[in-house]
Structure 1
Amino acid sequence: MPSFLTLLLLPASWLYAGVMAVRNWLYRTGLKPRTSFAQVPVLNVGNLRVGGTGKTPHVAWLVTWLQSREQRPALLSRGYGRATRGYRLATAADSAATIGDEPLQQFRHFAEQVPVAVSEDRVAGIRQLLAQQPAVTAIVLDDAYQHRRVQPAFTMLLTEQARPFYEDYVLPAGRLRESRAGAVRADVVVVTKCAPQLSATIRQEITRRIRRYARPSVPVLFSCYEYGAPVPVTAGPLQLPGAEVVLLTGIAQPGPLLEHLRAAGYRVVHHASFPDHHVFQAEELHQLAAQLRPGQSVLTTQKDAARLLEPAVAAIVAAMPVFYIPIEVRFLADGETRLAELLTPYFQPYAVV
């Protein structure tokens, strides 16, 4: 049942949804031009909702899958939160301030071996990326579901099990960037952050509700997170389950990580929670350091770790034992096989010899 505030904001949501519907109609009818790229497949990973659906680990899964098929993928993102503008190809000298925390995370995650670029204009960005990296055989667009100027070869739409798009409303009454009908553009829908043992009955019901908006033939897959052992960001003894830890997050949905740590046996004595893409300030980290007791460590996410190494705060962070918890995506049932079957045809003409 919608809350009173949601009902109050619905007229503004209808207006916003109407504007987005007209925009989508202009692209669908060709009155606004779209650009496709014959050189390589462009794979788009995005969502209808603002923040927190798990794009970063799913993009990483996709890049890893492409590498396993002997493809040479590149990543293109807008670079949300960066202090720069225009096209920029990531190098070892870049930081979260120059390319954004998520592109920096991906660049480091793949050991600087996968080209990562940022550009607000995805069409221009793809062109420059292909010109600079002619060996690339696939481009993965991160968070470009509403960037209609690009005509991708394949579009993956993500939606959280706990906050599915079909139960949400358009901004400002809800968190959707456009109406639920936008799901019709997806080639596959992935329901993310599921319980690992999600039953077939529940999966069938979620699929039924998604297909009220997506094309009837579009596969609906389900994925969950698998958390790895803590990875050191700074020097310090490895913290094992049972230890007292402080959790530091600047992400949209820290709840699942907090639940994982508690279930794994960590004693979370404090959770310093900040908004998504938060730029950590020296005073905030000084306060965090002052709260640490002997034997305690700071646990964080891989995305937050990228921002904790910014020059302005790196010295403060270096004085604390800090670890990040890596996250990988695992598909439920036969989801990985089905997704591979959907993707493989796009790479037959592009196979590396």
Structure 2
Amino acid sequence: MMLLRKILFPFSILYGLITSIRNFLFDRGVLNSYSFEIPIIAVGNLSVGGTGKTPQIEYLIRLLSPTYQVATLSRGYKRQSKGFILANATSNAAILGDEPFQFYKKFPSIQVAVDANRKNGIEQLLLQTTKPKIILLDDAFQHRKVKAGLYILLTTYGDLYCDDWMLPTGNLRESSSGAQRANVVIVTKCNPNLSVMEQNEIRAKLKLASHQDLYFTSIGYDACIFDEDKTMKVSQIKPISKVLLAGIAKPTPFFDYLKNETDVCLTFPDHHHFSESDIQSIQQQALEKIIVTTEKDYVRLKDSALVKQLFYLPIQSQFLSESEQFNATILDYAVKKMANK
């Protein structure tokens, strides 16, 4: 795979040139970006997959929803539907996509919408009887037809965008210079004990502008696993033989948190659509054992034949420090944007 990526290096240069021209045209106003009076916060990355967008969106929902009517707008990756859809009681993961459906199930007070055309999605949300006060754009850093008021860029510890290269040789969707559009940069999936010295080394590598704020977060795993009715402590299930199942971009930390030497670890592609043959194979390997999966996978599997033995492990984004400063930045933006309407 690495050899193939190196062979494809000329295509990376071409891809980088195309994305740079596109960004130049948006920056110069040749291609239109549409702004809205409502506060819009975009969360995204420069690389493909696995930077922790979902727990970061959930962090923002928890921060904002006690005060404001919040809506999330995603494209609904791999959903079996098209156009604008506002989640309701008939929605499922196939219609919305796994991550938006997860938002809908966890946060019943918010509005959850999907639309690949983010401009149209925002316009449709603003036509609803209950209009959102704040919209969170999920995975929209490259969606430049909409100009958000605040951009949060995520980059993973150990896989920083400044150390990466353009697709297909690397994993970048656009040049690392695109980071200049961000108001806030968050280094995700850090060791919770990351030293201040190492944080400063990363800060020096990223070379952020004076107007950009930098934060560091880790993934916090829950102390319990859940199904629709039951709760079990991780300390109880960790010693027993079980099946661990993950269809996410980087599953190793999930497995490491739960596994013992007798466990079976099953890995599937990110956003994997589980077929009947997949379900049968999982059943054959699990037998009567419990199956623990990620929250994102659970919403796609909970209506399958696995449901009686299926549990999920929630995660949250946790700031290593300065969470109060981050919260203040988000809340101040919302207040000032609303005051200027």
The normalised TM-score by structure 1 is 0.90
Structure 2 partner of 1:32: 31
Q: Taking structure 1 as reference, are residues 287 and 236 closer, same or farther at Cα in structure 2, changes over 3 Å only?
A: farther
2:263 is paired with a residue of what secondary structure? strand
Structure 1 partner of 2:167: 171
Structure 1 partner of 2:300: 307
The reply to whether residue 220 of structure 1 matches residue 217 of structure 2 is no
Deviation at 1:8, TM superposition (A): 2.5
Give matches, 1:234-273, under 5 Å.
240-262=237-259, 266-267=260-261, 269-273=263-267
Q: Taking structure 1 as reference, are residues 233 and 246 closer, same or farther at Cα in structure 2, changes over 3 Å only?
A: farther
2:79 partner letter: R
The reply to whether residue 207 of structure 1 matches residue 196 of structure 2 is no
Q: Does the 8 A contact of 1:158 with 1:189 survive in 2? A: yes
Provide the rounded CA distance (Å) in 1 between the counterparts of 2:263 and 2:237: 15
Structure 2 partner of 1:63: 61
Deviation at 1:286, TM superposition (A): 1.4
Structure 2 partner of 1:231: 226
The normalised TM-score by structure 2 is 0.93
Structure 2 partner of 1:79: 76
Deviation at 1:241, TM superposition (A): 2.6
Q: Does the 8 A contact of 2:279 with 2:306 survive in 1? A: yes
Q: Does the 8 A contact of 1:236 with 1:322 survive in 2? A: no
2:126 is paired with a residue of what secondary structure? helix
Q: Does the 8 A contact of 1:47 with 1:143 survive in 2? A: yes
1:346 partner letter: Y
1:132 is paired with a residue of what secondary structure? coil
Q: Does the 8 A contact of 1:156 with 1:187 survive in 2? A: yes
Deviations 1:264-305 (A, max 9, x none): xx45521110000100111211121122254x2100001000
For structure 2, the residue ranges without an aligned partner over 5 or more in a row are: none
Q: Does the 8 A contact of 1:169 with 1:175 survive in 2? A: yes
Q: Which moved more, 1:199-208 or 1:226-235?
A: 226-235
Deviation at 1:341, TM superposition (A): 2.4
Provide the rounded CA distance (Å) in 2 between the counterparts of 1:158 and 1:13: 22
Q: Does the 8 A contact of 1:188 with 1:219 survive in 2? A: yes
Q: Taking structure 1 as reference, are residues 283 and 203 closer, same or farther at Cα in structure 2, changes over 3 Å only?
A: same
Structure 2 partner of 1:129: 125
Deviations 1:300-346 (A, max 9, x none): 00100011035xxx2x123x411100001110122x11212221222
Deviations 1:102-160 (A, max 9, x none): 100111111x2210000011001001011115442100000000000011010000000
Structure 2 partner of 1:109: 106
The reply to whether residue 142 of structure 1 matches residue 129 of structure 2 is no
For structure 1, the residue ranges without an aligned partner over 5 or more in a row are: none
Provide the rounded CA distance (Å) in 1 between the counterparts of 2:145 and 2:89: 30
Q: Taking structure 1 as reference, are residues 268 and 195 closer, same or farther at Cα in structure 2, changes over 3 Å only?
A: farther
1:325 to 313, 318, 321: 313
Q: Does the 8 A contact of 1:261 with 1:268 survive in 2? A: no
- The two structures, once aligned, show a CA RMSD in angstroms of 1.9
